[in-house]
Amino acid sequence: MIHRILSNLRLKHLAAFTITFLFISLRVYAQQAVIAGFVTDSVTNDEVVGARVRLISQSDTTKRLGAISDRDGRFSFQRVSEGTYDLLVTSAGYQRYSRVLSVGKHSTDSLPLTIVLLPIKTVVRDVVVSATRTERSIEDVPVRIETVAQEEIEEKMMERSANVVELLNETVGTRVQNTSAASNSTNIRLQGLDGRYTQVLVDGFPNYSGLSSTFGLTQLLPLNLQRAEIIKGASSALYGPDAIAGIVNFITKNPQEKPEFSAVLNGTNQHGYDGSAYYGELFDEFGVTLLTGFQKQQLFDSDNDNFSEIPANTHFTITPKFTYEIVDGLNGMTTATYVTEDRRGGVMNAPDSAIGKAAPYIETNNTNRFDIATSLTWKQSENNTGTLRAAATRLTRDSYFGAVPFKGTQNIRFADAQYVDKVGPHTLQIGASLQEDAFDDRTPNRALSRSYDYVDVGTWIEDEAAFGSEWSTVASTRIDHHNALGTFVTPRASILFKPEPILSLRLGGGMGFKAPTIFVEDAEAIGFRNTTLFPGIVAERAQSATFDVNCHSPLFGTIAAKFDAALFVTELDHALLANSDSLAAGAIHIQNASGPTTSRGFEFTSDLSLDELRFTASYAYTDVQQTNNNKTYELPLNPRNWLGLTLSYEDEEEGFRTGVEAYYIGEQHVEDDPFRTVTPSYWLMGALIEKAFGPFHLYLNAENLLNIRQSTYEPLFLGNPMLGDYRALPLWAPVEGRTINGGLRVVL
């Protein structure tokens, strides 16, 4: 037995095991065992540094021992008493490992252990990582990519189960900006740039752009998500138009052989409730998942001014997904989503007969959305893979902003093909795509049509190479021909250097472009009233660069620690701005800026774990400057300083979890606000507690414990909405106040 164990170990570990055996043999009469071993990666056979190793007595769960694997992947427990123990090993990026150990009356029962952890890949079956569209472990991707893991999704789901807003709003460098209190429209800002520059994907399909982005985040349920991937910086090289600030890719679950069922029922103190359910199962060659959800929210007035801060909302979603193995190596996937939703905000006591009239002021939005997507993957060998994908989206939106109507239909059609061939250290990829974004402006009594039909044809080539265990690179170039804007070339390159298993450094950059549309934040705030594009407007262009350092190493021998730091800069040319003269006249004429928009800053995250305790601290400094007409000024609604602190405790065996969080939002520059030009800073604090009783999980959550509301500093609007006189002011702080929610999660 001992010979077999030693034969499986590399020579570099032999000396350590010899010492371990000598130590054990000297304790033969001690009636206590020494348990020692190594934690390794199942794919690379490298040491796993900073893994949490725990021994929990089955007879007395309060009897626990903990250790952290060192820079050689080694751990040890001294003086382990007789008994039966659960051995649990966890590490970020790896699947959880568990087994039962029995320690007898004699120390000779103790043997060295080799624990092999299975890495959680950035690919789950047919879903490829959005950074390079190839199957890679996160730590080996040369492009910087941040992930929100499933356990974090589950935690954030208890804070807001009806959509993914909270999931992103507490991620460093990512900010969900509310653009309208009356309608609760939002967008995602990456590193300070406006939300229209962020491309939102679901399983790699670009179905959320233009008109679709307005309510996309608040209509996307989190219950079926496996993880979220965030790539910051210009990324058009593989995904074409829209990815100027970066990409947020939501990866959904695939069916597994073990059936999975989960459901959430949630209610809030603000007169809202929602529920969703997920089922997935794999039947040999065929698999199915099904997600369905609903939400019912009443009008809510948090500051008693007779104007809603939370709109009334009735929402329903259903998403089936099918996977199938046609023949060995040939797999397919088809999914569809249907969403219907009605929103209404404004004067609290207004009758339905006031909809579409000037007074009292009411905003209504009715949206219907249907998506369908399919993919076919042919894995010819371990080195050759071909993929065909296609998707289509149809979204209709009918709105009233007081007496001003807005009606539009958006159709998005997408198809691409790619082929991956691994040759030695190189992974070569070639691909082509066709994407159409067609908007039909159905708003009545429009003198000038704002409809458009954009068609983009793109081709790309990429080479991802690994040179030993220390160096890897990726370089790609994409050429797009846009029917309205011409031809664009968008290269991208990144390099990864890992001088030690615990340390990695990345340097990368890329370019991107975006076609101009009327869907800018200023236009959404006034319901696109009198919004037009200036003649001769051109595409927005961007170039970005990022340098980041990642380190994970034990602290003091007992604390698992990870540190990430990044410097970034993005320069945007021809940014779309609202003409200042048109704003004063109550209209928005959109034109290109005469100078660049520059976003630069620094991000830092630390993650410390000690047994069941976990502490994270994140900081972001973001400076975004706009130059136009020979003037340079700071872009509004962008906090230069952001700080996030979280402390959590989780006992998996007892099914108990609790945590507290605090977020500091620094000062922001604001425009068109008669009360100020710079906002005050503020703290947002929250707390969560969850207890499981078998498959049933009860939870209670509190957000914004300090009851921070913008209306305590200044009004949210000017005028008298009862008389139809209403002008919304910029939103720089929460409007709904303290939120208490709770509910039931079922996990089978």
Q: What is the pLDDT of residue 619?
A: 97
Tokens of 362: 């009411």
Whether residue 590 contacts residue 532, with contact meaning beta carbons closer than 8 Å, is answered with yes
Where b means 16+ CB within 10 Å and e means fewer, 116-125 reads: bbebbbbebb
218 touches 243 (CB < 8 A): no
Write out the DSSP string of 119-188.
Answer: B--S-BTTBPPTTTSS---GGG-SS--EEE-HHHHHHHHHH-SSSSHHHHHTSTTEEEEEEETTTTEEEE
Sequence spans of domains, the chain: 2-117, 138-250, 251-418+425-747
What per-residue confidence (pLDDT) applies to 394?
96
Which pLDDT score, from 0 to 100, does residue 62 have? 67
The CA distance from 168 to 230, in Å, is: 9
- pLDDT, greater one: 105 or 247: 247
User: Residue 243 and residue 480: Cα distance in Å, rounded?
Assistant: 13
Residue that wins the pLDDT comparison between 539 and 67: 539
Quick one: how far is CA 340 from the chain centroid? 23
Distance of CA 124 to the CA centre of its chain: 16
Mean pLDDT of 530-548: 90
- C-alpha to C-alpha distance for 291 and 270, rounded to whole angstroms: 25
Tokens of 306: 């007779």
Q: How far apart are CA 115 and CA 130, in angstroms?
A: 31
Alpha carbon distance 482, 663 (integer Å): 42
| Model confidence band, residue 255 (pLDDT cutoffs 50, 70, 90) | very high
Torsions phi, psi of 725, nearest 5? -95, 105
pLDDT digits (tens, 9 = 90+) for 273-329: 999 999 999 998 999 999 999 999 999 999 999 999 999 999 999 999 999 999 999
Note the pLDDT of residue 456.
95
Q: Are 565 and 603 in contact (CB under 8 A)?
A: yes
Which stretch of 26-35, 573-582, 604-613 has the lowest confidence by average pLDDT? 26-35
Q: Say how many residues make up the chain.
A: 748
pLDDT confidence of residue 12: 44
Whose tokens are 């054990």? That residue is 24
Q: Maximum distance among all alpha carbons in the chain?
A: 95
Gap between the Cα atoms of 174 and 245, Å rounded = 11
The answer to which of 70-74, 570-574, 715-719 has the lowest mean pLDDT is: 70-74
- For residue 480, pLDDT over 70 is answered with yes
Q: For residue 3, is pLDDT > 50? A: no
Q: Is 673 strand, coil or helix?
A: coil
* Residue 7: pLDDT over 50: no
Residue 61 has pLDDT above 80, yes or no: no
pLDDT given at position 162? 82
State the average pLDDT for the chain. Answer: 86
Residues 650-673: tens digit of each pLDDT = 887 788 999 999 999 999 999 889
Under 8 Å between Cβ of 573 and 594: no
**Architecture of the structural domain at 251-418+425-747:** Beta Barrel (2.40)
Burial grade of 537 (CB within 10 A; 0-12, 13-18, 19 or more): middle
- Write the CA distances from 614 to 562, 603, 660, integer angstroms: 11, 20, 11
**In this structure, what are the phi and psi dihedrals at residue 252, rounded to the nearest 5 degrees?**
-90, 160
pLDDT of 19 above 50: no
pLDDT, tens digit (0-9, with 9 covering 90-100), for 180-226: 888 888 888 889 988 888 888 899 898 787 777 777 777 889 999 99
Cα–Cα distance between 99 and 561 in angstroms, integer? 24
**CATH homologous superfamily of domain 138-250?**
TonB-dependent receptor, plug domain (2.170.130.10)
CB 673 within 8 A of CB 719: no
Under DSSP, the state recorded for 719 is S
Look at residue 14 in the predicted model and tell me its pLDDT: 39
Name the β-bridge partners of 543.
Answer: 511, 571
Q: What pLDDT, on a 0 to 100 scale, did the predictor assign at position 623?
A: 96
Instruction: Write phi, then psi, for 213 (nearest 5 degrees).
Output: -75, -15
Q: Which one, of 399, 402, 396, 430, lies nearest residue 416 by Cα?
A: 430
Phi, psi of 160 (to 5 degrees): -155, 100
The DSSP result for 20-43, as a single string, is HHHHHHTTTTSS-EEEEEEEEETT
Give the distance from CA 384 to its chain's centroid: 30
Tokens linked to 541: 């262009």
The bridge status of strand 696-703 relative to strand 739-747 is antiparallel
Q: Are strands 531-533 and 588-592 parallel, antiparallel or unpaired?
A: parallel
The predicted pLDDT at position 111 comes to 63
CATH 2.60.40.10 fits domain 2-117: yes
566 pLDDT exceeds 70?
yes
Q: Residue 519 has what pLDDT?
A: 85
> Across-strand partners of 651?
656
C-beta atoms surrounding 328 within 10 Å: 8
Give mean pLDDT, residues 399-418. 94
Q: Which helix or strand (DSSP H or E) is residue 358 part of? A: none
State yes or no: pLDDT of 33 exceeds 60. Answer: yes
E strand residue ranges, 516-582: 531-533, 540-552, 560-573, 576-578
DSSP bridge partners of 717: 728
pLDDT of residue 132: 59
Least confident of 11-20, 155-164, 183-192, 327-336: 11-20
| pLDDT tens string 611-627 | 788 999 999 999 999 99
* Whole-number percent of the chain with pLDDT over 90: 54
Instruction: Report, as an integer, the average pLDDT of 717-740.
Output: 93
pLDDT in tens, 515-538: 998 888 777 777 777 788 888 899
pLDDT tops 80 at residue 475: yes
Amino acid at 359: A
pLDDT tens for residues 361-406?
999 999 999 999 999 999 988 889 999 999 999 999 999 999 999 9
SS3 call for 583:
helix
CA distance 22 to 414: 64
Q: Average pLDDT of 23-50?
A: 69
Q: Span 442-471, mean pLDDT?
A: 90
Other beta carbons within 10 angstroms of residue 499's beta carbon come to: 10
DSSP secondary structure, 223-235, as one string? TTEEEEEEEES--
Q: Is the pLDDT of residue 236 over 80?
A: no
